[in-house]
Structure 1
Amino acid sequence: MEELAAAAGIPVRTLRFYRERKLIPPPRREGRIAWYNHHHLARLRTIAALLERGHTLTGIADLADTFDSGRDVGELLSLGEVTEETPVRLTPEQLADYFEGEVTPENLASAMALGYLAIDGDEVVHVSRRLLDVSAALVREGIPLAEVMAAGLAVREHADVLAQIFIDLVTTHDADPQRLRPLAKSVVEAELSMALDRHLRKT
């Protein structure tokens, strides 16, 4: 357990908590020895990626159960998970179909470092169906995947700043946090649309 926690970069107590919540499968046991393998490490990295994208542990537990049982992740939409992003599970061949000729070891490493992809057993988990589809569309427009991911990182940094602006606004004025997401999205989408118009007129 200590070796697995160190490889995943998490405290042992966190790993124990994940085990108790059944977020990772039990280890293989030989007498008093518990053996973990690369599948357990991949699951922990998937959990880290999902947490970074805004999923709750309860939602991740539901997703893990759905993936393991072979059910459609769309079934989870009725559970009220806070995040709007739905992870998608792919075979390596399906991922290659999305990004024909762009699924290189370098791009895979970058996507995993960004938290977009995680490996779970023989499959790949992308943390957001929407980001997967948009990224594939940009690549089809002729933009290299490496540049798409670099742009995604820049957008993430700005998105974090924008999110904090709205969270501070709601906190300062004791507003209803449940109303934050749609209102913040509307403001950002409107401002981005107008900014694109301004910049496109200059070209």
Structure 2
Amino acid sequence: MEELADLAGITVRTLRFYRERGLIHPPRREGRIAWYDDRHLARLRTISTLLERGHTLSGIAELAEALDHGRDVADLLGVTPTEEEPVRLTPEELAARFEGQVTAENLAAALDLGYLATDGGEIVHISRRLLDVSAALVREGIPLAEVLAAGKELRAHADVLADLFADLILRHAAEEDLPRLRPLARSVVEAEMSLALDRRLRKTN
């Protein structure tokens, strides 16, 4: 415990307090010896960073609980091949992407949507494109909570579109052809979305 506290730049008393609040996991025990590892150190450094940025211990505890109850990376990615590139982030890097908006509520919403999962001391976002676009929208002044709410609604529409295209293909081809024809489906959706935005912009002009 003393070694961990020293590496984290905190006192043993503070470390005990964090343990009592459930901010870090219990150590692995062998008899009377308690073993801490790099995950404990990473969590303590994350706590220090968030405190420096004005987060409260109560808020940090909620974030920690949301992360600890998130799905792991295997559940997130599943076994189906994907064109999306997952991104690994430390909690500090995630907080920096969405300055001041990585709240317990937003983190829980992202976990529920399947955007985020945990893998040891890291966070995994399912899609670099979604991560970059979400961060760009937040930088433009759109609250992260509203971005996530829109993502949830969009998910339902995207599932309908995917089912429509899959049914079309399966009526005329084999199921194994779906991965090969997937880029065609994406192109159709992107083109229709672009045309829909054109129509929407004409209404406002």
| TM-score category (smaller protein) | 0.5 to 0.7
| Matches of 1:118 and 1:129, distance apart in 2 | 14
> CA, structure 1 residues 42+87, in 2 after alignment: closer, same or farther (shift >3 Å)?
farther
Task: Give the corresponding residue for 2:63.
Answer: none
CA distance in 2, matches of 1:109, 1:95: 14
Superposed displacement of residue 119, structure 1: 2.0
SS in 1 for 2:72: helix
Aligned to 2:180: 179
> What is the TM-score when the length of structure 2 is the normalising length?
0.62
In 1: Cα distance, 2:77 partner to 2:179 partner: 21
- Match in the other structure for 2:160: 161
**Equivalent position amino acid for 1:187 in 2:** V
Matches within 5 A, 1:67-146: 82-146=81-145
Structure 1 residue ranges without an equivalent (≥5):
1-27, 31-37, 57-81
The alpha-carbon distance between structure 1 residues 43 and 107, as it changes in their structure 2 partners (threshold 3 A), is: closer
State how far apart, in whole Å, the 1-side matches of 2:98 and 2:83 are: 24
1:174 CA drift (Å): 1.7
Paired residues in the alignment total 140
**1:138-185 Cα shifts (integer Å, max 9, x gaps):** 000100000000111111111111011111011111263343211101
Question: Which segments of 5 or more consecutive residues in structure 2 lack a partner in the other structure?
Answer: 1-27, 31-38, 40-67
Once the two structures are superposed, residues 25-49 of structure 1 have per-residue CA deviations (whole angstroms, 9 ceiling, x without a partner) of xxx9x9xxxxxxx9xx879532222
Distance (Å, rounded) in 1 between the aligned partners of 2:180 and 2:119: 35
TM, length-normalised to structure 1: 0.63
2:137–2:147 contact (8 Å) kept in structure 1: yes
1:62 matched to which residue of 2?
none
Q: Which amino acid aligns with 2:72?
A: R
Taking only aligned residues, the RMSD between alpha carbons, in angstroms, comes to 2.5
Identity %: 68
For the pair 1:202 / 2:203, whether they are aligned, the reply is yes
